[in-house]
Amino acid sequence: TPSAPPKAKKHDYVVVKDFAGSIMGRLAHVFKKAIKEAFPTVSVPLVLAEATNPKFGDYQCNSAMGISAALKAQGTAKRPAEVAADIVAKLPVCPLISKTEIPPAGFINVFLNEEFIAKQCGEISRHGVRLPTIESRRVIVDFSSPNIAKEMHVGHLRSTIIGDAISRLFEAIGFDVLRLNHIGDWGTQFGMLIAHLFDRFPNFQKETPAIGDLQSFYKESKKRFDEDAEFKKRAYECVVKLQSSQPEFIKAWNDICDVSRKSNNEVYDKLDIKLNERGESYYHNRMEAIVEELKTRSFLREEEGRHLMFPTGCDIPLTVVKSDGGFTYDTSDLAALKNRLFEENGDWLIYVVDAGQSLHFETIFSAGRDLGWYDEAVKRVEHVGFGLVLGEDKKKFKTRSGETVRLKDLLDEGVRRSEEKLKEKCRDRDMSEAELTAARDAVAYGGIKYADLSHTRTQDYIFSYDRMLDDKGNTAVYLLYAYARIRSIVRQSGVSQEEMDKYAASNELLPLGHPKEVKLAKQVLKLSDVILQVVDTLMLHTLCDYLYNLSTTFTEFYSECYVVEKLEGTSKVNMNRLLLAHVTANTMETALNILGIKPVPKM
């Protein structure tokens, strides 16, 4: 079995300039400082976590044990509790911390200052949800990337959903993002497709050929290719003519690509996903240049007519030129890598492709480093892999008859079921036609996206309409209901946006009293922490978990704290709570937008 090449080192690509609401970020900052001052000779990673029990405060710094062990190794004996005390003594003044406690085991329990929480929430109520400011990067996200002439399948759907969310996340923090659809639109299969097109639609130059279903067109031409030697020969000639850009062949190729393009775009439109198509064909000339470069720099080895490159640490070489002179998937990815680094000036390159291709990408990246194209300390180049989509039988997701599920059918089925559900609950009674359609689509597309994003990216996940349309548990439907409910609480209070703004403007701090208000406010502020974390790990389920916790925390708050109190015929609005609810809804909206889920005000 081939061993994987060495994994890329991790660096601090994420340089935070303003933590916004981030509590963890700020705490990490002051604790790192204190530890460095108290123990300049040891370097152990900071261990900071949310406290598991309110008795232990809000956060815990658990670095003292590690430092104590490191000191011991250096010949100094110091108990963890003493180490912890030394750290606390060096803590800079920090408005965020009200007190610290050191239990005998040497943890440092951190209690947050409620005034700080109230102040941060006040700011959000006046200026809107703010995300951390991170030094800007040019990020290139390669995602979706289906192959022409083969139906886009659920694997591509995962890539599409994850890649879009990653792009949205980066756009939300102000990065410069280039979304690329690296479609498989080049290669020898086009020879047989074009030859078949010439036979089936002799008139194709004058009128657009009605290819219809590209999959059966592909199957027909493949059959001929396998059975008919004369056809096979013509197919090869077509490849050569296509690659030398003869107009008639380019036209035929374009017609074929257009069929795929149209059906793919339908999927992207429904899911509200923006992509720039830049397929393998785009790199054709660049591939020629790459081969030249590799030849002159003596990176190629010839074996049985093929030209191979053996990148450092990789067992399987890259096939740069085939024995028939053609290029491969490897060649196009080398060209794409160079293009993204040098022509596009990407600082951070992301490839959202199923985990099955990880060896391919590790090999390409290793080649890029061998060629001196980039330095890992400066640029981050990574394969963001993901697991398979499984059916409810835990086998590869297929239709009952064993075919690939067409994405359009999959989405349509979601919409149908979502409408059925809404009607079951009689939601159509209090909504207009347009509101119902908006809710239906939000639930269907949001449900499909969320089901994918809420699962740990690297693992396989089971596609189930029943699960994703369930209004209980960590699902999009649950969140969309929770969101709509908060909006409706605010709407029904009768307090106008103006009145709320006025109240917000006159209170520097958003007043917090009840413990559930404090708890909700803390949860609201955690968005910044979560964003910082996800920007680094690109694990979007963390953001989903956050949203789910925020909704349940809101429910806890709402069941104990009256927002509107009805007393003997009159009603009194607790403005601070109303504002907190409003801030919660805005926070949810920000997070949902990053996930590509459209919240609707009414459901």
- Looking at 255, 333, 347, 517, which residue binds ligand ARG (CB under 6 A)? 333
- The strand pairing partners of 48, in sequence order, are 61
We find the least distance from the C-beta atom of residue 116 to ligand ARG, in angstroms, to be: 45
Is 25 one of the binding residues for ligand ARG (CB under 6 A)?
no
Is 214 one of the binding residues for ligand ARG (CB under 6 A)?
no
Is 146 one of the binding residues for ligand ARG (CB under 6 A)?
yes
We find the least distance from the C-beta atom of residue 244 to ligand ARG, in angstroms, to be: 24
| Cα 155 to Cα 238: distance, rounded to the nearest angstrom | 30
Is 147 one of the binding residues for ligand ARG (CB under 6 A)?
yes
Q: Could you write out the DSSP letters of every residue in 171-226? A: HHTT-EEEEEE--B--STHHHHHHHHHHHH-TTTTTS------HHHHHHHHHHHHH
Residue at 455: amino acid letter: H
Q: Is 106 left (phi over 0), alpha (psi -120 to 50) or beta?
A: left
- The strand pairing partners of 276, in sequence order, are 180
We find the least distance from the C-beta atom of residue 321 to ligand ARG, in angstroms, to be: 18
Is the Cβ of residue 405 or residue 442 nearer to ligand ARG in the bound state? 405
We find the least distance from the C-beta atom of residue 447 to ligand ARG, in angstroms, to be: 25
3-state secondary structure of 127: helix
Cβ 451 vs Cβ 410: under 8 Å: no
Residue-wise burial string across 407-416, b where 16 or more C-beta atoms lie within 10 A, e elsewhere: beebbeebbe
Is the Cβ of residue 353 or residue 594 nearer to ligand ARG in the bound state? 353
Is 330 one of the binding residues for ligand ARG (CB under 6 A)?
no
Is 142 one of the binding residues for ligand ARG (CB under 6 A)?
yes
We find the least distance from the C-beta atom of residue 144 to ligand ARG, in angstroms, to be: 9
Token pair for 558: 């709402």
Residue at 290: amino acid letter: I
We find the least distance from the C-beta atom of residue 279 to ligand ARG, in angstroms, to be: 9
- Looking at 63, 145, 281, 328, which residue binds ligand ARG (CB under 6 A)? 145
Instruction: Give the range of 85-93, 140-148, 532-540, 572-580 binding ligand ARG by CB under 6 A.
Output: 140-148
We find the least distance from the C-beta atom of residue 324 to ligand ARG, in angstroms, to be: 21
Instruction: Give the range of 141-149, 164-172, 194-202, 241-249 binding ligand ARG by CB under 6 A.
Output: 141-149
Is 282 one of the binding residues for ligand ARG (CB under 6 A)?
no
Token pair for 408: 């359009």
Is 490 one of the binding residues for ligand ARG (CB under 6 A)?
no
Is the Cβ of residue 349 or residue 581 nearer to ligand ARG in the bound state? 349
We find the least distance from the C-beta atom of residue 412 to ligand ARG, in angstroms, to be: 23
Residue at 417: amino acid letter: R
We find the least distance from the C-beta atom of residue 583 to ligand ARG, in angstroms, to be: 40
> Which of positions 218-277 make contact with ligand ARG (CB under 6 A)?
none
Is 353 one of the binding residues for ligand ARG (CB under 6 A)?
yes
Task: Name the burial class of residue 220, with classes exposed (0-12), middle (13-18) and buried (19+) by CB atoms within 10 angstroms of its CB.
Answer: middle
- Cα dihedral sign, 85-87-90-91: negative
Is the Cβ of residue 38 or residue 336 nearer to ligand ARG in the bound state? 336
| Cα 339 to Cα 148: distance, rounded to the nearest angstrom | 22
x/- mask, ligand ARG, residues 160-189, rule CB under 6 A, reads: ----------------------x-x-----
Task: Give 4's contacts (C-beta < 8 A, 6+ positions apart).
Answer: 358, 359, 362
Cβ 20 vs Cβ 134: under 8 Å: no
- Looking at 336, 453, 479, 581, which residue binds ligand ARG (CB under 6 A)? 336
Q: Can you give the three-state secondary structure of 403-466, one letter per residue?
A: CCCCHHHHHHHHHHHHHHHHHHCCHHHHCCHHHHHHHHHHHHHHHHHHHHHCCCCCCCEECCHH
Q: Could you write out the DSSP letters of every residue in 507-537? A: -SS----SHHHHHHHHHHHHHHHHHHHHHHH
> Which residue sits closest to ligand ARG, CB atoms considered?
145
Is 363 one of the binding residues for ligand ARG (CB under 6 A)?
no
Task: Give 310's contacts (C-beta < 8 A, 6+ positions apart).
Answer: 301, 317, 318
Is the Cβ of residue 113 or residue 147 nearer to ligand ARG in the bound state? 147
Instruction: Give the range of 51-59, 143-151, 404-412, 460-468 binding ligand ARG by CB under 6 A.
Output: 143-151
Instruction: Give the range of 138-146, 284-292, 537-545, 556-564 binding ligand ARG by CB under 6 A.
Output: 138-146
| Cα 360 to Cα 32: distance, rounded to the nearest angstrom | 38
C-alpha angle 416-417-421 in degrees, rounded to nearest 5: 120
Determine how β-strand 389-390 pairs with β-strand 461-462.
Answer: parallel
We find the least distance from the C-beta atom of residue 182 to ligand ARG, in angstroms, to be: 4
Count the residues of the shown chain that bind ligand ARG, applying the rule CB under 6 A. Answer: 10
We find the least distance from the C-beta atom of residue 105 to ligand ARG, in angstroms, to be: 49
Is the Cβ of residue 142 or residue 452 nearer to ligand ARG in the bound state? 142
Is the Cβ of residue 363 or residue 587 nearer to ligand ARG in the bound state? 363
Is 351 one of the binding residues for ligand ARG (CB under 6 A)?
yes
Binding-site ranges for ligand ARG (CB under 6 A): 142, 145-147, 182, 184, 333, 336, 351, 353
